[in-house]
Amino acid sequence: MYLYNSATHKKEELKTHTPGRVEMYTCGPTVYHFAHIGNLRSYIMEDVLEKYLRFAGYDVNRVMNITDVGHLSSDADTGEDKMLKGAKRENKTVMDIAKFYTDAFFDDCRKLNIKTPDVVQPATGCIGEYIKIISKLVDTGYAYLAGGNVYFDSSKLERYYIFNDHDEDDLAVGVREGVEEDSNKRNKNDFVLWFTKSKFEDQALKWDSPWGVGYPGWHIECSGISMKYNGEYLDLHCGGVDNAFPHHTNEIAQSESYLGHPWCPHWFHVHHLNDPAGKMSKSKGEFLTVSLLEEKGYDPLAYRWFCLQSHYRKTLVFSWENLDNAAAAYTKLLNRIAALKPEGDVDAAVFGEYREKFLQQVGNDLNTSMAVTAVFDALKAKTNDATKLAVIGEFDKVLSMSLLEKAAALREKAAQAVQSGGGDYVITGEGDPEIDAKVLARYEAKKAKNFAEADRIRDELKAQGIEVTDVKGGASWKRV
C-alpha cells in the first residue's frame, strides 16, 4: 500500500517493522462532550484504513486512547482542563462525565459502522507507564522541574519540528495568538509532562509521583499507551491534522528521547470538515452530532457515504445540501443493488479481477472516491447478478456501508408490497415511487383493456431508460 506520510511530505510504500503486521495507533477522543461530525470524519477514514489493511492481508493491531484526564484547552499548557470543564458544566464528577461521553462516542461509532479498535485504553489507566517514561527523561536530562511541574526540554533535540517547517522567530508562543506564555519554561517549545498541586488546585484526578501529587500532561498519554500495547516500534500513527502540531510533534520528541531510537516512521493525518463559515467546532454554530443528523431524518451511513466521496487529505465542506445529495446518492445505490437477483453462481474470474483492481485503486493513498466508483463499475459489469453482489459485498468489507444488508431489506420489502387494491400485484425495482406508480398505472390500463394507454406508458418508461418485465403476480423493472 502507498500512503502519504505527513512526516516526509510525500506518498510512500507502507513498510512495517514486522513484515505482514501493522502496529497502528489512533488518537482517541477527549470525552468531555459529544463528538461532532467533524471529529468523526477522522475516525471514519481511520476505520477505512484499518479495514483496507486487513483486506489486503495485513495482521493489524490497532490501539486507541481515551483522554479522560490532562487535556488542556490551551496549547501552551496553561488553560483549563477540558475534562474538568465538562464536569463543571454538568455538575458531575470527572469520571461520570468520562463514562457518559465515552459510551456516547462508541454509540456514534456503532451507527457509523466504525469498528472498535483492538485496544481501547483510558488515559487514567496507565499512570505508572507515564511516570516510568518521565522519570527516565528527567534522569537523562531531557526533562526538568520548574514551578512544581515537569517539562520536556525541547532544546536537547537536533530537530523538533517534524510535520512543518517553522521559523522559530515567527512562531507565536503556544501556537495561538493571545495565549499566555508559561514563565516556568526554559524554551517556548517546552511542554508539560507532569503537573503537580502547584497548578489547577481544583483538578479532581491526582496521583502520587516522584515530583509530588499531580496528574500527567496530555501528550505523554499517547506515548505511554502506544508503548504498552504496540511495543517500542510503532508502524502507523493516525489522527486529525490539527493534532500534528503540537500534540504529535511532542509525542515524537518524548518517545524517541525515551527509547533512544526512531519510534514511528509513518504518520496519517485526516483533514478538517468545515462548515461554510470555517472549521467546525463544538463552540460555534449548531453543534452537529450524529444524534442531530438522526433527528433530522438522516441515516448516519449517509454521512459516512458523504465522507467516502472525498479524499482524506482534502478539506471537506459540510452543508445540508451536500448531505442531502449524498443521502440521495446512497439511497439510489441501495435501490440499484436491491434490483439485482441473488441467483446463480459467482464467476470467480470476474470476482478476482474486480477485487484486484479495487486493491490497486484504493491502495493508492486510501482513495475512497475510487472505491465508490468501483461499486458503480461492479453494477455495470458484464456479468450475472450473483457475481455483482459478491463483488459489492467484498468491497463493502472496506467501505462498511451495509450495502448488501440494506439492499436485501429493500428487496424483501418490495417483494411483500401489495401495489393495488384489486388483487396482489407486486412491483419490484429500484425503489423509485414515481416509476412504481407508472408501472402500476400500466397494469391498471391493461386490466381495463385500455391497451393504447398501456402502450403509451410503456413507451414513456422506455424513453426514460426503464425496462419493464411482466412476471407472475406483478412486474419488475430496471434501468438499462
- Least confident span in 80-89, 124-133, 270-279, 361-370: 80-89
Which cell numbers in the block locate residue 254? 518524548
Task: Decide if 196 is inside a domain.
Answer: yes
Beta strand residue intervals within 417-465, DSSP E: 426-428
pLDDT of 86 reads: 79
Task: Decide if 120 is inside a domain.
Answer: yes
| 294 and 375 share one domain | yes
Beta-bridge partner residues of 64: 26, 120
pLDDT of 283 reads: 58
- As for how many domains the chain has, the answer is 3
CA-CA-CA-CA torsion sign (279, 269, 31, 109): positive
User: For residue range 390-409, what is the model confidence (pLDDT) as tens digits?
Assistant: 999 999 999 999 999 999 98
Residue with the three cell numbers 472549521: 279
3 state SS of 177: coil
- Max CA separation in the chain (angstroms): 95
Where does the pLDDT of residue 284 fall: very low under 50, low under 70, confident under 90, or very high at 90 and above?
Answer: low
pLDDT of 396 reads: 98
| 136 and 17 share one domain | yes
| 403 and 459 share one domain | no
| 256 and 348 share one domain | no
Closest listed residue to residue 354, CA positions, set 383, 334, 311, 327? 383
Where does the pLDDT of residue 74 fall: very low under 50, low under 70, confident under 90, or very high at 90 and above?
Answer: low
Closest listed residue to residue 77, CA positions, set 195, 203, 169, 249? 195
3 state SS of 184: coil
The pTM score is 0.85
- Least confident span in 107-111, 281-285, 378-382, 448-452: 281-285
Query: Is residue 433 pLDDT above 90, yes or no?
Result: no
pLDDT of 134 reads: 98
DSSP 309: T
Q: What whole-number distance in Å separates Cα of residue 296 and Cα of residue 276? A: 19
**Residues 454-467: b if buried by 16+ CB within 10 A, e if exposed:** beebbeebeeeebe
| 255 and 146 share one domain | yes
pLDDT of 192 reads: 94
- Whole-number average pLDDT of the chain: 89
User: For residue range 97-143, what is the model confidence (pLDDT) as tens digits?
Assistant: 999 999 999 999 999 999 999 999 999 999 999 999 999 999 999 99
| 108 and 246 share one domain | yes
User: For residue range 221-252, what is the model confidence (pLDDT) as tens digits?
Assistant: 999 999 999 999 999 999 999 999 999 999 99
- Least confident span in 23-27, 88-92, 349-353: 88-92
Q: What whole-number distance in Å separates Cα of residue 361 and Cα of residue 378? A: 14
Q: Which of 213, 241, 270 is the last residue of a domain?
A: 270
DSSP 148: T
Look up residue 410 and give its amino acid: L
Q: Is 313 in contact with 370 (CB distance < 8 Å)?
A: no
pLDDT of 446 reads: 86
Q: What whole-number distance in Å separates Cα of residue 108 and Cα of residue 362? A: 25
In 3-state terms the chain splits into helix, strand, coil percentages (rounded to 5) of 45, 15, 40
Beta-bridge partner residues of 11: 4
Q: Which of 363, 383, 408 is the last residue of a domain?
A: 408
**Residues 398-434: b if buried by 16+ CB within 10 A, e if exposed:** bbbbbbbebbbebbeebeeeebeeeeebbbbbbbbee
| 396 and 440 share one domain | no
Task: Decide if 276 is inside a domain.
Answer: no
Q: Which of 270, 304, 324 is the last residue of a domain?
A: 270
Which cell numbers in the block locate residue 138? 528527567
Task: Decide if 467 is inside a domain.
Answer: yes
Q: What whole-number distance in Å separates Cα of residue 133 and Cα of residue 260? A: 12
Where does the pLDDT of residue 410 fall: very low under 50, low under 70, confident under 90, or very high at 90 and above?
Answer: confident
Expressed as residue numbers, the domain containing 427 is 417-479
Please give the distance of CA 245 from its chain centroid, rounded to a whole number: 20
Q: What is the CATH number of the domain that holds 67?
A: 3.40.50.620
Q: Is 78 in contact with 180 (CB distance < 8 Å)?
A: yes
User: For residue range 152-187, what is the model confidence (pLDDT) as tens digits?
Assistant: 999 999 999 999 855 444 333 334 333 456 888 999
Q: What whole-number distance in Å separates Cα of residue 132 and Cα of residue 140? A: 13
Task: Decide if 90 is inside a domain.
Answer: yes
CA-CA-CA-CA torsion sign (352, 357, 363, 369): negative
pLDDT of 424 reads: 66
Q: What is the CATH number of the domain that holds 384?
A: 1.20.120.1910
Q: What element of type H or E holds 4?
A: strand 2-5
- In DSSP notation, 310-336 reads S-TTS-EE--HHHHHHHHHHHHHHHHH
